[in-house]
Amino acid sequence: MYIARELTERQGGTINYETGPEGTCLHLELPLAVVTSTHSERPHVLVVEDDA
């Protein structure tokens, strides 16, 4: 979570999370690379942390 928060503070973007049987999934969506980029072209990062 710390790394995802640092990335959004430096680069912008949003963090969403959900819990599941594998652990907590953090979805980090970074800003568009270019103004004309579509949503599907945005870089995405998925981090899974074991809750155990």
Confidence band for 33, pLDDT divided at 50, 70 and 90 = low
Name the residue range of residue 7's domain.
2-49
Q: What is the DSSP secondary structure assignment for residue 40, as one 8-state letter?
A: G
Is 29:14 a contact under the CB 8 Å cutoff? yes
**Confidence class for position 5, pLDDT limits 50, 70, 90:** confident
| Count of C-beta atoms within a 10 Å radius of residue 28 | 20
Alpha-carbon gap, residue 29 to 46, rounded angstroms:
9
Q: d(Cα 23, Cα 26) in Å, to the nearest integer?
A: 10
The number of folded domains in the chain is 1
* pTM attached to this predicted model: 0.47
